[in-house]
Structure 1
Amino acid sequence: MNKSFPLPVKAVVIDLDGTLLNTAPDLAEAAQRMLRDLAMPPVSLDTIRSYIGNGIANLVKRALTGEMHGKPDDALFVKALPLFEKHYDEVLHCETRPYPGVMEGLKALRDAGYTLVCITNKAQRFTLPLLAAMGMKDYFDLILSGDSLPRKKPDPLPLRYAAIYYEVEPKDLLLVGDSLNDSQAARAAGCPVVLLPYGYNGGKDVREQDCDAVIDSLPELLKLIRKA
C-alpha cells in the first residue's frame, strides 16, 4: 500500500456495481427468472454475488454452469443471454440501492472540485438508466460502460481513455473500486487505486490485493487525496 498521502489527484474514477450500488439483488432476480424460463434450478443470492464483476455475459455463463470459468453450450448461451437482459430490464432498480455513504461521498467530492468519472463493465443500456434512477448520473462528467470501448476492465483501456479525454497522465486519475478487476486495471494503466471492502470480489478480501488503501465508505476518500 502507498503511504504517501494525501495522493495528488485531478479526477476520481469510480466503479459502479459493488462500489456505488448494491445491484446484486436485482441481478440475482434476473438470473433466477432466466433459469426458470430455461427449466434450470435456481442459484442463491450469495452465489450470484460471487459471479458479478466481469459483465453480464460472464454472469450468465456462470449462472448456467455453476462455475466461474464455465463454458455453457453455445446454443444454450445464445438463448439465455437475451432472456437475462429482458428480465434485468424489468427489475433493473427494484431492489438496487446506493451503499451507505455513497451519496454523501459523491456530493463531497464534487463540492471539493474533483472531476468524477464512472467506469463500469455493465452495458450502457443498463448503466445510464440505473445511474439516472439512483440520482447519480449528473455527478459524473464522463461515463464509460462495458461496451463503450473495445475492451473493459481489467484491461487498462478505459482508464487510459479517460486520461486522454481529460488530457492528464494516468497517475493523476484515482480509481475507486471493489474488486481484483479494478486493482488490475489501475496498475496496468499506472493509476493509484483505493478499494472498498463491501462489494463483489468473488468472496476474497480486498485487503489482500495490490492497492494504495482500503476505506470503509466513500466519504473517507477525502482524507486520502488532494487536488493535483
Structure 2
Amino acid sequence: MTPVRVLVVDDQDLFRGGFAMILNAQDDLTVVGEAADGAEAVRRAVELEPDVVLMDVRMPTMDGVEATAEICRRTSARVLVLTMYDVDEYVYQALRAGASGFLLKDVRRDDLADAVRVVAKGEALLAPSVTRRLIDDVVRRGAARPVLRRQLDELTERESATLRQVARGLSNAEIAAELVVSEHTVKTHVSNVLMKLGLRDRAQAVVFAYEAGFVTPGQDSR
C-alpha cells in the first residue's frame, strides 16, 4: 500500500519536527516535506503534490487561511488545520477556504496519525465547537445565498436526504441506519452530492448546507 504523503506546515521548529517524527513513525504515512510559513507551504504543496497538508493557522508572511485557499485552488491536497485553541477565530475561516478539518496542537500522537488517515480518505474532522461557530456565523449573516440554493435542484431526493445527515455530522454507518440503506449506497450518494455541488469533501458539504439555508440551526434533519 502506498503511504499517505504529508506536508507539515508550522512556523515553530519544535512543533514541525515533532509532528513530522510522529507521522514518519507510521508505516502508512510519510512526511515528504516541511514549510515554516504559508507562502512556502503553497510552493511546496505545488512542488511535492502531498495527499494531506498539516497546516498551522497563525504564521508570518502568509497565514494558514490564505495558504489553505491557495493550496485547495491549485492542488488536490486535503488540508488539516492545526490550532492552539478550539476557539481560534481562524479555524472556521480555514474551513470555508477549503480545509477538511482541524486539530488542536495538544493532540495525542495516535489521534494525529488517525486524523491524517481520515482526511486522506476524503472524510471530515469537525469538532462540535466549530460546527456551532459555523451555524452562528450563518445566523449573523441572515438570509441564505440563493445561488447556492439553486444548485440543490441538481440533487435527487435520496441525495438531498444524505446531505442533511452529513450536515448533522453523521458518519456513513449512522446515515445508513437513518435512511435504512447500505453503507455502500450512502458512499455513492455522498460522492454524487460532492460531484454535483462541486465540493471537495464532507467538510465543505457541511458549510454548503448551512450557507445555502438547506439546514438551519435547531432543525430536525431527519
TM-score (structure 2 length as normaliser): 0.32
TM-score (structure 1 length as normaliser): 0.31
Higher relative contact order (CA 8 A, sep 6+): 1
Tell me which protein shows more helix as a share of its residues: 2
